[in-house]
Chains A and B, each alone.
Chain A
Amino acid sequence: DAKTTQPPSMDCAEGRAANLPCNHSTISGNEYVYWYRQIHSQGPQYIIHGLKNNETNEMASLIITEDRKSSTLILPHATLRDTAVYYCIVRVWAATDKLIFGTGTRLQVFP
């Protein structure tokens, strides 16, 4: 799996958009970008994934640059419940091997 780099922490005001960056400059053409988050004392939760087109679901939007070397997860209207550690991971679609977590970004949403 390609290596990813994320800032260790970020703050965001409640109601504002939270933009979480991820660098994956060594990503291969068949690797997808996945985002998970872990709220304190819970198991990780899948958020979204994409290959090269921007994606949006009920939780977030994923913006992938044209060269695919970086991406941004956008939480359009952050709430206090979005406070969590966010992990960016790149994987091939059919990957069956182990999923390794990096250190992620600790997002703190404040009132």
Chain B
Amino acid sequence: GAVVSQHPSWVICKSGTSVKIECRSLDFQATTMFWYRQFPKQSLMLMATSNEGSKATYEQGVEKDKFLINHASLTLSTLTVTSAHPEDSSFYICSARARSGGAKLFFGSGTQLSVL
């Protein structure tokens, strides 16, 4: 089956620094990628939708200047948390939709971000 690779699996950073999370579709072309955030014992919350070669669409309440999303190719999307603060600590998950895969999404394994 289709595989989505997400790196890193976990990261600890100091407050004020920036962190980049990568999401790669390994064996298919992802026309659309989604970024989610999940707090403990809560459901996934969609942050933004990105289409290859175009600007990401952010959900209401998500700061686009803080969470920079780049989807430069059909196999790679990145999420950069800029000037991270402790409240940004969360589990971040990416997902990808294949060009010919219908509405089925494939998910990365997630990145646990801890900001000190």
A-side interface residues toward B, CB under 8 Å?
32, 34, 36, 38, 41-46, 49, 85, 87, 91-104
Main secondary structure of the interface of A (DSSP, over half): loop
A34 with B104, Cβ < 8 A, contacts A41-B91, A100-B46 known: yes
B41 to A: closest C-beta gap in Å: 9
With the chains together, A46 CA to B106 CA distance in Å? 7
In the bound complex, residues from chain A placing their C-beta under 8 Å from that of B105 are: 44, 46, 99
Number of A-B contacts (CB under 8 A): 64
Could you tell me if A41 and B112 are in contact, using CB atoms closer than 8 angstroms?
yes
Could you tell me if A104 and B43 are in contact, using CB atoms closer than 8 angstroms?
yes
Given contacts A41-B112, A46-B104, A101-B36, could you give 4 more A-B pairs where the C-beta distance is less than 8 Å?
A: A34-B104, A38-B44, A96-B31, A98-B49
With the chains together, A18 CA to B106 CA distance in Å? 24
Who on chain A is nearest to B9 by CB?
Answer: A41
Could you tell me if A43 and B49 are in contact, using CB atoms closer than 8 angstroms?
no
With the chains together, A34 CA to B106 CA distance in Å? 12
With the chains together, A89 CA to B90 CA distance in Å? 24
B16 to A: closest C-beta gap in Å: 26
